[in-house]
Amino acid sequence: MKRFIGDIGEHALIKRLTSSFVQKSKQIRCGVGDDGAIIASHKGDPFVMTTDMLLEKRHFRPCWTTWREIGKKSIEVNLSDLAAMGAWPRYALLSLGLPLKTSLRDVEDFYRGASDALRPYRATVIGGDTNASPGGWVISVTMIGDFPKSRKKAPLRNRAKAFDRLYVSGHLGESALGLYCLEKNIKGSFCRPFIKRHLCPKARVLLGRALTPHIHAMIDLSDGLVADLGHILQESRKGAWVWREALPFSLRFIKGTRRLRQNKWTLGLSGGEDYELLFTASRNKDKDIKRIAKAHRISLTPIGEVRPEGGLKILNGQGRAIRLQCGGFSHF
Amino acid sequence: MKRFIGDIGEHALIKRLTSSFVQKSKQIRCGVGDDGAIIASHKGDPFVMTTDMLLEKRHFRPCWTTWREIGKKSIEVNLSDLAAMGAWPRYALLSLGLPLKTSLRDVEDFYRGASDALRPYRATVIGGDTNASPGGWVISVTMIGDFPKSRKKAPLRNRAKAFDRLYVSGHLGESALGLYCLEKNIKGSFCRPFIKRHLCPKARVLLGRALTPHIHAMIDLSDGLVADLGHILQESRKGAWVWREALPFSLRFIKGTRRLRQNKWTLGLSGGEDYELLFTASRNKDKDIKRIAKAHRISLTPIGEVRPEGGLKILNGQGRAIRLQCGGFSHF
């Protein structure tokens, strides 16, 4: 029987494919399977690499947004991966496949957006490739970040410990609600903040760096809470309880879901592209985390705990495990 | 008037776009505009990054080749960029956009080919991204190489000196002739070596490293001799004479062009994807270069000289400048 990639899902595919590569090297501190790869350069500081591909019609639609926003977002999604490694953005490689009839102005706007996203970190584009594309736009960004050599432990996905507390930054679900508004062509000023969250995400780079010394495992929420927490649990071989009632929702999001008759839990648990940070930390780190939340003016909400085993359980207000209606975003 | 990217060409586009990025940093020893970017890691050895995007129908056609060959080629074209920097391949990031109905076997074959190309250097895939593509296959490879810190000068494009001798490795034009056979659907055993040169190029990594201490500027021939030499001349602000009669052609290539009524000069001067190395060196390095040629069992042919000014001139057997019928491969 012929098997298609759609049948097995992205993570199984990657596991299957990369198992054939020799990966044992002292210098690869972390290879395939985390937000980024960590390379210990000989004598020098280690650096982190991350890459993301965005395809027209699959990841963005030019009719929904401006090219400047697309340029910005294609950098931000990579910054978010670096944030989840606690790394500082340094360099970017920007490869584009462009339809021949692309106007110069659109490409310039795209670069302007990319530049906007890199500027706060004084990160810079050091290379790339441009090609004519027979289909739509193709954007492939690779970013390099670094962190001080003294920092022995990056917050990898496999470092969650049993009885760690689970935290999430900011608010959940708004991006998914924004996508819903775009797809259903719902207009109205109340939709705008959600649409903006979807089209113009902002990576939590400073927060990620501040958290890193105090936490165990971290991931950025791109595929949805359940899917991304799943990656941590799988890599750390742990289970978790998530207290559904503790999930951080903004008031406007709750109102929005009511108005659009959407289930806030589904969006919060399974909606993608929040680009918030999900992390685990010892209980005794609560004070440090509160301090960081205050300093960064962002909420860092405890939403559950890591368990020695038993998979992922979502508990309702009465402490009963509830069934999930759907998982996260799959790339296939 | 609306301007399209097709009107201005790849290099003008890149220049225009990247001028907006701040690129002044002590650590960026070489940024946009060469085969790779060189980063001096803090205290550690510098490393080189290069990236290339391959798009179905634009850069390859699955009906012409196997997925294993495509996997191999997508690595080799990046290895060739590293070769032209005199760097040693270390790590690769491999991002794919795949149509949903891609068979698992094709993807596995692709990875097998990529793995084949990396194995001789013990280089390894450290990350990547996979996505469903609404169009054809999209392949984006980023490679990281390094060289000893002691090596102060990489053979950058801007380092050609007046009165340097111009050299090229191996033979020219075979890949372009192979592409012609594929496009015109010409079959016959005499075509096979040319088609193979086109579908299965081999980067000159060891040669590039051996040459580096003895030469000034180097580039790999991907867009054709005239176009790629043009990059060196532009970056170095020099002119050049190329002796047409000195161009290295294989006997089988000369026979093949006669049989197919193709102009060998046009293919040799403007045909793309030879993935040979073009470099400039002082005249007194002739002995070293002959020694390296012998050790690597490859011809390194002097084909002209760098001039203080006057653009690129192709001289025929009588020493008269001839007109070029066409330039190299443009990505748009």
Interchain CB distance below 8 Å, A125 and B21? yes
Confidence of residue A185 (pLDDT cuts 50, 70, 90): very high
Q: Do the Cβ atoms of A97 and A138 come closer than 8 Å?
A: yes
Q: What's the pLDDT at A322?
A: 86
B4 lies in a domain? no
Whether the per-residue pLDDT at B326 is higher than 60: the answer is: no
Determine the Cα–Cα distance for residues A126 and A92; give it in Å rounded to an integer: 6
Pick the more confident residue, A15 or B21.
A15
Determine the Cα–Cα distance for residues A300 and A288; give it in Å rounded to an integer: 11
Is residue B195 classed as helix, strand or coil in its secondary structure? Answer: helix
DSSP string, B257-288: HHHTT--HHHHHHH------EEEEE-GGGHHH
DSSP string, B26-41: TTEEE-TTSSSEEEE-
Are A172 and A309 in the same domain? yes
**Least confident range of A15-24, A104-113, B72-81, B264-273:** A15-24
Interchain CB distance below 8 Å, A55 and B133? yes
Whether the per-residue pLDDT at A267 is higher than 90: the answer is: yes
Q: What's the pLDDT at A303?
A: 97
Residues 139-198 of chain A whose Cβ lies under 8 A from any Cβ of chain B: 140, 142, 144, 146
A332 lies in a domain? no
Are B48 and B110 in the same domain? yes
Helix (H) or strand (E) run with residue A111 in it: helix A104-118
Whether the per-residue pLDDT at A264 is higher than 80: the answer is: yes
State the average pLDDT over residues B182-188: 93
Q: Which residues sit opposite B305 in a β-bridge?
A: B165, B241
Are A163 and A302 in the same domain? yes
- Is A211 near chain B, with CB under 8 Å? no
| Count of residues making up chain A | 332
Instruction: Count chain A–chain B contacts defined by CB atoms under 8 A.
Output: 266
B71 lies in a domain? yes
B67 lies in a domain? yes
Confidence of residue A19 (pLDDT cuts 50, 70, 90): low
Q: Do the Cβ atoms of B252 and B322 come closer than 8 Å?
A: no
Are A274 and A239 in the same domain? yes
Residues 55-84 of chain B whose Cβ lies under 8 A from any Cβ of chain A: 55-59
Q: What's the pLDDT at A148?
A: 66
Q: What's the pLDDT at A29?
A: 61
Kindly report the CATH number assigned to the domain that includes residue A274. 3.90.650.10
Whether the per-residue pLDDT at A116 is higher than 90: the answer is: yes
B240 lies in a domain? yes
Whether the per-residue pLDDT at A326 is higher than 60: the answer is: no
pLDDT tens by residue, B276-318: 999 999 999 999 999 999 999 999 999 999 999 888 999 998 9
Are B187 and B318 in the same domain? yes
Domain tally for chain A? 2
Determine the Cα–Cα distance for residues B230 and A88; give it in Å rounded to an integer: 37
Are B129 and B177 in the same domain? no
Domain final residue, candidates B91, B114, B146: B146
Residues 247-266 of chain B whose Cβ lies under 8 A from any Cβ of chain A: none
State the average pLDDT over residues A212-229: 95
Tell me the backbone φ, ψ of residue A46, rounded to 5 degrees.
-70, 155
State the average pLDDT over residues A23-35: 62
B6 lies in a domain? no
Compute the nearest-CA separation of A23 from chain B (Å): 6
Other Cβ atoms less than 10 A from the Cβ of B78: the count is 27
Under 8 Å CB-to-CB from B162, ≥6 apart: which residues? Answer: B238, B306, B307, B308
Are A252 and A185 in the same domain? yes
Domain final residue, candidates A146, A173, A208: A146
Residues 120-149 of chain A whose Cβ lies under 8 A from any Cβ of chain B: 122, 124-136, 138, 140, 142, 144, 146
pLDDT tens by residue, A304-321: 999 998 889 999 889 898
Contacts of A21 in chain B (CB under 8 A): 115, 118, 124-125
Angle between helix A192-199 and A251-259 (nearest 10)? 110
Determine the Cα–Cα distance for residues B40 and A45; give it in Å rounded to an integer: 11
A293 lies in a domain? yes
Confidence of residue A266 (pLDDT cuts 50, 70, 90): very high
Q: Domain residues for B191? A: 157-322
Contacts of A136 in chain B (CB under 8 A): 134-135
Are B127 and B175 in the same domain? no
Whether the per-residue pLDDT at B262 is higher than 70: the answer is: yes
Determine the Cα–Cα distance for residues B298 and B286; give it in Å rounded to an integer: 15
Whether the complex's predicted ipTM is more than 0.95 is answered with no
Kindly report the CATH number assigned to the domain that includes residue A137. 3.30.1330.10
Determine the Cα–Cα distance for residues A124 and B28; give it in Å rounded to an integer: 10
Closest partner residue to B127 (CB to CB) among A51, A57, A136 is A51
Give the angle A133-A104-B16 at the CA atoms, nearest 5°: 105
Contacts of B20 in chain A (CB under 8 A): 111-112, 115
Whether the per-residue pLDDT at A9 is higher than 90: the answer is: no
Confidence of residue B152 (pLDDT cuts 50, 70, 90): low
Interchain CB distance below 8 Å, B126 and A31? yes
Confidence of residue B29 (pLDDT cuts 50, 70, 90): low
Residue type, B219: I
Is residue A239 classed as helix, strand or coil in its secondary structure? Answer: strand
Closest partner residue to A45 (CB to CB) among B44, B95, B132 is B44
B130 lies in a domain? yes
Domain final residue, candidates B119, B146, B173: B146
State the average pLDDT over residues B211-218: 94
Pick the more confident residue, A243 or A15.
A243
Are A311 and A165 in the same domain? yes
C-beta contacts of B191-197 below 8 A and 24+ residues apart: B191/B256, B193/B252, B194/B253, B194/B256, B197/B274
Determine the Cα–Cα distance for residues B164 and A80; give it in Å rounded to an integer: 48
pLDDT tens by residue, A42-72: 566 778 889 999 999 989 999 999 999 999 9
Are B286 and B195 in the same domain? yes
Are A195 and A303 in the same domain? yes
pLDDT tens by residue, B109-138: 999 999 999 999 999 888 888 888 988 999
Q: Quick one: tokens of B147?
A: 């060289």
Q: Quick one: tokens of B300?
A: 């390194």
Chain-wide mean pLDDT for chain B?
Answer: 88
Q: Quick one: tokens of A265?
A: 């839990």
Interchain CB distance below 8 Å, B4 and A53? no
Are A311 and A194 in the same domain? yes
pLDDT tens by residue, A122-165: 998 888 888 889 889 999 999 999 876 655 678 888 899 999 99
Compute the nearest-CA separation of B255 from chain A (Å): 33
Nearest of A288, A294, A296, A277 to residue A83 by alpha carbon? A277
Interchain CB distance below 8 Å, B43 and A44? yes
**Least confident range of A96-105, B4-13, B256-265:** B4-13
